[in-house]
Amino acid sequence: MKIGQNIRKVRELNDLNQETVAGMLGMSAVAYGRIERNESDISLKRINQIAKALNTDIETLLNFDSKKHIVQMENNKGTIYTSINYGTVNAVNETLLQTVANLNENIVKLNNIILQSAKK
């Protein structure tokens, strides 16, 4: 499968239309459509820009396979889709673990504040 088809599938998973993504990239919808149809050459820089606009990474755009990839991507409406990239999953897991650790620290601090105010 060519990269344009992968870009299109990831865009659709994010519930975005071509005009929206083209606007995010500062290009016309016609030029962006040519990318998705594999009618124009695309630079690595542009692939990286598209990946950022679609909330994913270059590896996903290059190797996207809906049967093998299971990366969570959240669209602009907050709907979570399953599509995959192991590097992204690992990064998300690390971020979630750090967030949980921070929340636990804050809970302990709040409990201490509550206990101190109850003693007064």
pLDDT in tens, 27-63: 999 999 999 999 999 999 999 999 999 988 898 888 8
Distance of alpha carbon 55 from alpha carbon 75, whole angstroms: 8
Answer yes or no: do 42 and 65 share one domain.
yes
Q: Are 35 and 80 in a shared domain? A: yes
Q: What is the CATH number of the domain that holds 4?
A: 1.10.260.40
Whether 91 and 79 map to the same domain: the answer is no
Q: Which of 10, 96, 103 is closest to 50 using CA atoms?
A: 10
**109 & 74 share domain:** no
Q: Are residues 38 and 20 in the same domain?
A: yes
Residue 73: predicted pLDDT: 46
Query: For residue 100, what are the domain limits?
Result: 85-120
- Residue count of the chain, please give it: 120
Q: Is 80 found in the same domain as 27?
A: yes
What integer pLDDT is reported at residue 102 of this predicted model? Answer: 83
